[in-house]
Amino acid sequence: MASIRKQAIISLVLLAGASAVSALLYLQRPSAEIAEPEYATVTVDVAEVVKVNPRIQIQAQGTVSPVQETTLLAEVKGRIVEVADNFHVGGFVSAGDVLVRIDPRDYQTALLHAEAAVESAESALVQEKGRAEVALREWEKLPRGSQRSEEARDLYLRKPQLDLARAQLLAAQADLNTARDNLERTEIRAPYDALIREKQGDLGQFVGAGSALARIFSVEAAEVRLPIPQSKLEYLELPGVTGYGDGSLIDLYTDVGGDIKHWTARLHRTEGVFDERSRVLFTVARIEDPYALRDPSREPLRIGTFVNADIEGRELPGAVVLPRYVLRAGEYVWVVDDSMRLRNRKVSTLRAGGDRVYIDAGLAEGDLVSLTNLNASFAGAEVEIRSRVRSDRLDEPAAAAPEPPRPRTDETAATERASSVAGGQ
């Protein structure tokens, strides 16, 4: 019994001590201080709107092909007795170069026969002219009563024989021209400055008239067929009936051994009809001196190369050019108003392609467009401008480069969102 009483007393003493300590701590607590909330502004880069007259570039792809391509055929039969040193696949030839020579001996003999026939016909004509003159003098001496019809007079004066001699001379001259042409045809010459694509004849081979000897193509100029969709035709200056004239500039480029090579071309013409399957209009670009024969310092653009093309479009008046990433879903952009707060602005775009967007309505001259990527929760947030650049100078190296969209951590986004909400209260 005494033990139970002792435990109860100890419990009461401990409870009283704990109550006393709690009361003491409560009475000695520090007074609470009310702190004012801190407002953090959002730092952004902005572009000052400046309207310009840009030219939208249209991208296309195509394969380089020759403007002229010819299959050289033998026009006479015979054995090939000589070929040029550069008569091989990939060889460059100049206009008028002899590429192949066919055995000319038979044609030289035929030419001699033709020349002899012409001389014989000329001699026969001279003799007939002499006989006709003698007959005319005799005819004039005959009495007038003995002169009968015109037909009899023509026969007496040997006019039919004279006409026959002239006809035989013309035939002999025609045979002579043919013999000369056939002799010339034993030499196969390049019709223009060209490169040999394919060789089909060689030394010692017997060929007949019409046999293929080689395929060549011109190196003076090359072409690229570029497909343009209907939706992009409005950005190009299409040619009239006479073609493009000078034509818009085109930047052709491709990867050559890991290095991007560029060539300059111009629009030359369109093919005039839409492709029935793809519904595109093919426009043709022309490249002068593709193999850089006149300017060896340039990189050659070989036939068959697959190239990308940036076509300079027509001028678009009063447009604003901005980085594409500033355009948000629904065609909205962030605009900083006079009170330095972010506002959603609806815009109208002409085209969004590559890394640029072209805006034709919704922005006024001098508006400040945020170049910093922010989500929708920042609407109405107070901002501080870190850098400012004119929209027409965004491509200049010296301009303040806007930051591209950066991934935002959950902690950073939550902190900025809380600051934005606090700033709006």
146-192: pLDDT as tens digits: 656 677 776 777 788 888 889 999 999 999 999 999 999 999 999 99
Q: What is the mean pLDDT of residues 236-257?
A: 73
Return the axis-axis angle of helices 105-141 and 159-184, rounded to nearest 10°. Answer: 160
Query: Does pLDDT of 356 surpass 90?
Result: no
What DSSP letter does each residue of 6-63 carry, written as one string?
HHHHHHHHHHHHHHHHHHHHHHTPPPP--PPPP--PEEEEEEE---B--EEEEEEEEE
CA 112 to chain centre: 56
Q: Of 267, 266, 274, 270, whose CA–CA distance to 230 is shortest?
A: 274
Task: Look up residue 207 and give its amino acid.
Answer: V
The per-residue pLDDT for range 22-41, each reduced to its tens digit, is: 877 777 777 767 767 666 77
* Confidence (pLDDT) at 133: 82
Contact status, residue 236 vs residue 313, Cβ threshold 8 Å: yes
Q: How confident is the model at residue 46 (pLDDT cuts 50, 70, 90)?
A: confident
Q: Tell me which residue has tokens 């497909």.
A: 227
Cβ(385)–Cβ(336) under 8 Å? yes
pLDDT band at 302 (very low <50, low <70, confident <90, very high): very high
Q: Cα separations (Å) of 194 from 187, 202, 253?
A: 17, 19, 24
pLDDT tens digit sequence for 247-292: 678 889 998 878 898 998 988 888 888 888 888 888 888 999 999 9
Q: Hey, what are 70's tokens?
A: 């010819």
Top CATH class of 44-54+318-424 equals mainly beta
Q: At 343, phi and psi to the nearest 5?
A: -130, 145
Record the tokens describing residue 212, joined without a space: 């293929």
Q: Per-domain residue ranges for the chain?
A: 44-54+318-424, 59-66+218-315, 72-101+190-217, 104-185
Q: Which candidate, 77, 96, 87, places its Cα nearest to that of 199?
A: 87
Q: Which CATH architecture has domain 72-101+190-217?
A: Beta Barrel (2.40)
Domain 59-66+218-315 matches domain 72-101+190-217 at the CATH topology level: no
Query: Tell me, what's the pLDDT at 325?
Result: 83
> Domain 59-66+218-315's class?
mainly beta
Question: What is the overall mean pLDDT for the chain?
Answer: 82
**pLDDT reported for residue 225:** 92
Q: Give the β-pairing of 221-229 and 280-288.
A: antiparallel
User: How many Cβ atoms from other residues are within 10 Å of residue 23's Cβ?
Assistant: 10
Provide the 10 A C-beta neighbour count for residue 142. 10
Higher pLDDT, 303 or 404: 303
The answer, as to whether pTM is greater than 0.85, is: no
Instruction: Give the tens place of pLDDT for each residue, 106-150.
Output: 999 999 999 999 999 999 888 888 888 877 777 677 666 665 667
